[in-house]
Amino acid sequence: MVTMIVDELCEELVEEILSRVPLKPLTKMKCVSKDWCRLISQLTKSIPRLNPFGLIWFSEYSICFNYNGVYGQHRSNLMLLNVQVQEGKLEYHESCSTLLDGNLDSLCYSDGLLLCCESETRTFEPILYDLILKQLIHLPPVDEFLPEDVEPIGMGLALDDKCLTTRHFKLVCFYYSGCLDFFDCVIYSSETREWKKLRAPVSNYSSINYNGETGMVFGYPSNIELFFQSHCLYHEGLIYWTVHGYLVVYHPKDNFFEIHDLPMKKYWDMDECLWMSNGCLHYSCIDWEFLSVWNCVKGVEIDSNDEYHQNENNRMNTGWWMLKHKVDIKTLKVPEYPEFLLGQPYDLRIHKPCAFDEDFEILYFLIIDLGLVLSYSFETGCLRKVKKLEYA
């Protein structure tokens, strides 16, 4: 029970402290001070902390040039849904909708910057959109810095954490050159407004079996999906990617990579997601049977068979994962579509986890075939409809 009197602390300091506490425990706190109750009530009603820019979705628009059904240029509708807390419940309000050229897919967003790419072409062209100014950020061509017939493995944003007011950033692209001793990188800096080439060592490449059937796949010439299905996350100076069952981590400050096992090997599917919650890295994956969520716990690894083992010989050898949630998707019913079963084999690859609400323990994902944005509450076990995307 909280016994401290608010007057003993600066009110702004108290709000800062409470803003770092997950929302659910905050609403259950018992207070003896009316001032504390008032502050907590204000926080629960006015602070949506999922993301300051809400949920971000793309829906495809195709431009038809004639009546024969021949389609030309694609356009994508970028939509932002603000998440607001109203009387302890989440409400979703569309705050922005804009059309951008190309069939786009979002890779990552942070500090108001959204990194996108073309999802159906072989042309590597990063697209950066400013969610605050609601405009594209011009980037110089990068083709001349990339070898021919090489597709980047991953692309991500690194922010200048020491100077957030200037919003300086680096855009990092890395690719495989035939040797896991290092990754070649092409990096754009918002300060110099130029691309430059770097070679970054991989600290634990010897632990990766990349020649076996279940090993990491790099450099496969026809595998355009290798790049486009690399999910990215930036947090506290590090960039994380999921690549064919592995977690790739880049340290921009010290210029080196780490590679760790993910708890499940997802070689070709895009049904996975990374996020930070309570200061811990989380990984979610959906297959035919289960919706699973793991959190990263250093020192112990847990694999998809729930087998624990200590990693004593080489601490860089694997990731460290503990199963947090496991839901049988055959038990889930899609609102308004009772005939649609998530667990049917033909529905594989259509579930796309996209975001996580730390306060309410809600995972958001997209059912591509139906154009439905859904939320799943790990607390209540309920699946709810958030938004029906419009396609044209």
Delimit the domains of the chain by residue range: 1-47, 109-261
Q: Which helix (H) or strand (E) holds 25?
A: helix 23-27
Task: Give the separation between CA 232 and CA 241, rounded to whole angstroms.
Answer: 5
Q: Residue 176, Cβ neighbours under 10 Å: how many?
A: 21
Whether pTM exceeds 0.85: no
Per-residue pLDDT of the chain (392 residues; tens, 9 = 90+): 445 555 566 666 666 666 556 555 665 566 656 666 666 666 554 443 444 446 776 666 555 554 455 455 677 777 777 777 777 677 787 777 777 777 676 677 777 788 877 765 545 678 888 877 888 888 898 878 877 766 667 788 888 655 545 678 899 988 877 777 889 999 999 999 999 999 999 887 655 655 444 345 444 433 333 333 456 888 888 999 888 778 889 999 899 998 888 887 655 555 788 888 777 888 888 877 788 889 887 644 444 343 434 444 433 334 478 888 888 877 877 666 665 656 554 443 456 677 787 777 888 887 766 777 888 888 888 888 887 776 54
3-state SS assignment for residue 154? strand
DSSP string for 39-92? HHHHHHHH---S-TT-EEEEEEEEEE-STT--EEEEEEEEEEEEEEEETTEEEE
Cα gap 130→195, rounded to integer Å:
19
Please give the sequence-ordered ranges of beta strands (E in DSSP) within 289-342, or none if there are none: 290-296, 300-302, 308-310, 321-328, 333-334, 337-341
